[in-house]
Structure 1
């Protein structure tokens, strides 16, 4: 988190949190009240102050006010640039810990930065780096993996950087519980809630 946000939190520690205003879509675009944010300065500020609390709710720390973010797929959206896996906040993924494939072939990855979903435009990269128990991946092996029960390991493996990881099948709706994040954060008991953005 950036120093200015930390200073604001120290100065005004009890500002109520904001829910239902901010979002992150499946393409890694920030939303406010459903509208895409396009100003680079705002995007950079959100990217630099985006974290998770102890309950798996992701938020943007806007000075003293915490704005919780509803996420369409996962709290991070991952893309590939010159073979390097990046979060939508421009962090390099160096230590992927787990790879999951959902019922429609979507790929989620547990990273050192948090849980991420791979952009559908980069699924070809994922498939090109997958093998079937050491053999080249083919359509039959992929179909068999997609038919594997949710929560079970498949025969697929994927190479990401210097890591070789087994691929688990996991239904999309089960991903938040498995990876420890909340798609649509809600206030907890006795949590102060704001009705507007703090001045």
Structure 2
């Protein structure tokens, strides 16, 4: 987390959390969802405005984390902005090295935020989507990288186990659509 964000949290510790205004799609793109967009329909049917500004995306990436309940958020200064997830909290990019013909070659796996990681298990859901579990958590393989992922499976590096898409959040401890806490009665 950025030092300036940590300082803002200390200075203003009780800023209300924000829900419904930021979303992550299955290709690792961020979407801003203003009130009009939220009224028009749920994510991902109505996505909103794609975040294209490089510095803003980098700021979101550096300040992206999960709370104890598995709800992912972007810490925007003193305000926690919870993220709606189309699929998973991570979207994995898979790329083989240039010298992939070597016997010990393995694909490079990096997140939509640019973090590299290792694969601990693989899962194939009922819709044919491939998930990688890593020390960072569960994520969906980016659709453009399925050929490289298939190559890892064919090489015997990954052995996907069955998974239903609906069971992924509970099984791997994340929330697709964080909700504000209920007001006390």
Give the TM-score taking structure 1 as reference length. Answer: 0.76
Structure 1 runs not aligned, ≥5 long: 137-157, 160-164, 192-199
Structure 1 vs Structure 2 CA RMSD: 1.6
Q: Secondary structure at the match of 2:175?
A: coil
More strand by share: 1
Give the one of 152, 157, 161 matched to 1:129. Answer: 152
List per-residue Cα deviations over 1:47-80 (Å, max 9, x = no partner).
0000000000000000000000001111111112
State the match for 2:82 in structure 1.
68
Q: Report the Cα offset of residue 37 of structure 1.
A: 0.6
CA distance in 2 between partners of 1:17 and 1:114 (Å)? 23
- 4+ long deviations beyond 6 Å: none
Query: What is the aligned partner in structure 2 of residue 23 from structure 1?
Result: 23
For residues 166 and 90 of structure 2, the distance between their equivalents in structure 1, rounded to whole angstroms, comes to 16
The alignment partner of 2:23 has SS state of strand
State the SS of the aligned residue for 1:130.
helix
Q: Where in structure 2 are the equivalents of 1:30-49 lying within 5 Å?
A: 30-33=30-33, 34-49=48-63
Q: Hey, what's the Cα distance between the residues in 2 that align with 1:3 and 1:115?
A: 27
1:188, distance to aligned residue in structure 2 (A)? 2.4
Q: Where does the alignment leave 5 or more consecutive residues of structure 2 unmatched? A: 34-47, 98-106
List aligned pairs for 1:17-166, cutoff 5 A. Answer: 17-33=17-33, 34-81=48-95, 82=97, 83-94=107-118, 96-131=119-154, 158-159=156-157, 165-166=158-159
User: Is 1:3 equivalent to 2:26 in the alignment?
Assistant: no
TM-score, normalization: structure 2? 0.81
Q: Distance in 2 between matches of 1:59 and 1:76?
A: 12
Q: Secondary structure at the match of 1:129?
A: helix
Whether the aligned pair in 1 keeps the contact of 2:9 and 2:77 (CA below 8 Å) is yes
d(CA) in 2 for partners of 1:167, 1:80: 15
Greater displacement, 22-31 / 103-112:
103-112
> Does the C-alpha gap of structure 1 residues 188 and 48 become closer, same or farther in structure 2, counting only changes over 3 Å?
same
Distance 1:107 1:87 in 2: 14
Aligned match of 2:164: 171
Q: Residue 155 of structure 1 corresponds to which residue in structure 2?
A: none
Tell me if 1:182 matches 2:175. Answer: yes
Q: 1:20: Cα distance to partner?
A: 0.4
